Structure 1
Amino acid sequence: MLTDTELLRRCRQQPDGILNLLFYSDRVSKKQAHEFDEYMVCVSGQYTVVLNDEEFVLNSRDELFIPKGTEHLGKCIAGTRTIHAFGRKRIRRTEE
């Protein structure tokens, strides 16, 4: 099982900021906050995110946006698959 640090390192290695995860065992992460937004989708299984002491249970096809700086932790059951997209830069529109 990857530690939270290993997960973050693996995400940083992805040039597009996308992380696909398959959890082989039940897991609870440490509380964390990022300097960037996070968007996640539960592809299969069940993933629970705790944001500001409120639990959000994500099942297959459920999505969640986590604003930068928001403390959160995650809990999931074995067999859960998730996709996480980490925003690093904001896109600015040019005037047309």
Structure 2
Amino acid sequence: MTNLSHSSVEAEPPRPESFAPSLPTEHHIVAAALMAERLRVLSEQLLLVLQHAPRDADMFTRVHGEALTAWCDMDDHYRAYQAILECKGQG
């Protein structure tokens, strides 16, 4: 009878040094792209609100505020990305 509780081959846990950290430029451009996608979705929602519920000021205000936040976040990340490129990563 084989004892399955003790395997002769044990998997090693991943070592931290085997994972390369993401570069700041990668982080910022990915975050900017994600915010641009979020902004696209929110813009579509704003269009629907204006077409189908133009009197729902609360909904408009909520979605509009989220869109402004997404715009600002996208802008911040893209400006950080550009700043890193300008200093060639020496910041």
TM-score by length of 2: 0.21
Instruction: Normalising by structure 1, report the TM-score.
Output: 0.20
Higher strand share: 1
